[in-house]
Amino acid sequence: MRGTANPKLMLMILSAVFAFLYIPISVLFALSFNEGGLPTVWTGFSVKWYGELFRNGDIMGAALNTLIVAIVSTILATILGTLLAVGVEIRRRKGRFLETIIFAPMIIPDIVLAIALLSFFSLLNFTMGLHTVIVSHVVFNLAFVCSVVRARLKTFDWAIVEASADLGAPMIVTLWRVVLPVMLPAVIAGALLAFTLSLDEFIIAFFTAGAGRDSITLPMQIFAMIRFGVTPEINALAAIVMTVSVIILALSQRLNRGGLPGQ
């Protein structure tokens, strides 16, 4: 590839694409510090919108709900997803059906999974709220954790598991003391990925949260704010939400590239 392309043209393409990707985001960041809060008129630097944000009870309540959903669903998904990954990789003889079930939550359109869960919960007369959002988030989160952990296990030397078994360790001890330490970076990376996905997820939460105000998550709050009158607070909120996701994801990527301990 290198040396075959016109460097000037390549530079132009890259600059244009990066401008397209980053200008809208940067505008949002800049506006969050605009005293007047209006898109066109710059009236001076101010952090007052951040102050307003933290005094807004609705937004803070939604942020707390989002954290609860993200933390609980991440913990559940990490345990289930990791066990699933180890199980699938030990059982090399993979069924096509199994693969389909594991990949499905990642490719089913959000809206389809969302209405499926809504129909399911309401036909069973489940009271919907944060708990149904958590249950639903675990579905796609565990699929992502599983795929991150599996990717790491592909390079895992199963001979050490056999060695551990030969030395008399029961399966559970082998898993805890041999397999887990080796794949810990991938497990943490998977958990961070799940946490971010859950933090940002809107459609499934929107359908499975029920009607009450107390189960509104931050993305639901943002959606409502965008739809019914834009207030400058949302620029500050957008800037914070974006920064948090990006930091966690960067951390996850770093961990996952970190290589296996002992290699």
160 binds another protein (CB under 8 A): no
Binding mask 101-120 for another protein (x = CB under 8 A): xx-xx-xxxxxxx-xxxxxx
Of residues 209, 18, 6, 235, the one with CA closest to residue 118: 209
63 binds another protein (CB under 8 A): no
The Cα–Cα gap between 213 and 220 comes to: 10
Q: What share of the chain is helix, strand, coil (3-state, %, to 5)?
A: 75, 0, 25
Size of the site for another protein (CB under 8 A): 86
> Least distance in Å: CB of 177 to another protein?
16
The Cα–Cα gap between 214 and 61 comes to: 8
One residue of 67, 249, 251, 260 binding another protein per CB under 8 A: 249
Asked if residues 149 and 82 have their Cβ atoms less than 8 Å apart, the reply is yes
Which among 47-55, 57-65, 182-190, 217-225 is the span making contact with another protein, rule CB under 8 A? 217-225
188 binds another protein (CB under 8 A): no
DSSP letter assigned to residue 168 = T
* b/e map 169-195, b = 16+ CB within 10 Å: beeeebbeebbeebbebbbbbbbbbbb
> Least distance in Å: CB of 201 to another protein?
9
5 binds another protein (CB under 8 A): yes
One residue of 60, 160, 165, 178 binding another protein per CB under 8 A: 165
58 binds another protein (CB under 8 A): no
Phi and psi at residue 34, to the nearest 5°: -90, 120
146 binds another protein (CB under 8 A): yes
70 binds another protein (CB under 8 A): no
Q: Is the dihedral of CA 122, 124, 128, 130 positive or negative?
A: negative
DSSP secondary structure, 16-41, as one string: HHHHHHHHHHHHHHHHHTBSS--SS-
202 binds another protein (CB under 8 A): yes
2 binds another protein (CB under 8 A): yes
Give residues 9-48 in contact with another protein (rule: CB under 8 A).
9-11, 13-14, 17-18, 20-25, 27-28, 31, 38-40
The Cα–Cα gap between 160 and 175 comes to: 11
Which among 48-56, 149-157, 181-189, 201-209 is the span making contact with another protein, rule CB under 8 A? 201-209
Give residues 83-102 in contact with another protein (rule: CB under 8 A).
83-84, 86-88, 90-91, 93, 101-102
> Least distance in Å: CB of 75 to another protein?
13
> Least distance in Å: CB of 42 to another protein?
10
> Least distance in Å: CB of 83 to another protein?
4
The Cα–Cα gap between 88 and 218 comes to: 35
The Cα–Cα gap between 132 and 18 comes to: 39
